[in-house]
Amino acid sequence: MCAIHRRLSSLVIGLLGIVTLVLGVGACLPIRAAGDGTTGMSVDPMIMPSLRGLVLSDGEDALRALGIENVSAVPVDGHMFVFNDNNWIVVRQTPDPGAVVAPDEEVTLDVEKTEAAESRFCFDGDC
């Protein structure tokens, strides 16, 4: 009997999801228009720029200018975390340059610490 209830509840939840999509209930949420800071960003897809070789802070600024806010920086040189965005260089990115991306899509920037930052800063104990 419990299996029947679980299947029935799954069916009801699935049907509610479909009804929500069809009726566009989510369309009632406010969308911020680009520029005024109160009513939203463009939802049009855009071409992903090449960020390889840029300082991480500059790459993040370029993505924000396009309306992309979901950005993750991942150290690929053995460090545990990114502490100062100005001390890191983008070496890879996902999605690749030239790919079509939506503003809400996650962008991952693989980064390496600059040699100058490595030699003068030992906060993470790796020097």
> Which residue do the tokens 């993750």 mark?
72
Assigned CATH topology for domain 45-120:
Trypsin Inhibitor V; Chain A (3.30.10)
| Separation of alpha carbons 32 and 34, rounded Å | 7
Please report, for the chain, the start and end positions of each structural domain, with discontinuous segments joined by +: 45-120
Owner of token pair 């800071």: 37
Alpha carbon 22 to its chain's center: 27
* pLDDT at residue number 115: 86
pLDDT in tens, 42-98: 568 999 999 999 999 999 999 999 999 999 999 999 889 998 999 999 999 999 999
pLDDT in tens, 20-46: 444 554 443 344 444 444 444 556 899
| Whole-prediction pTM | 0.61
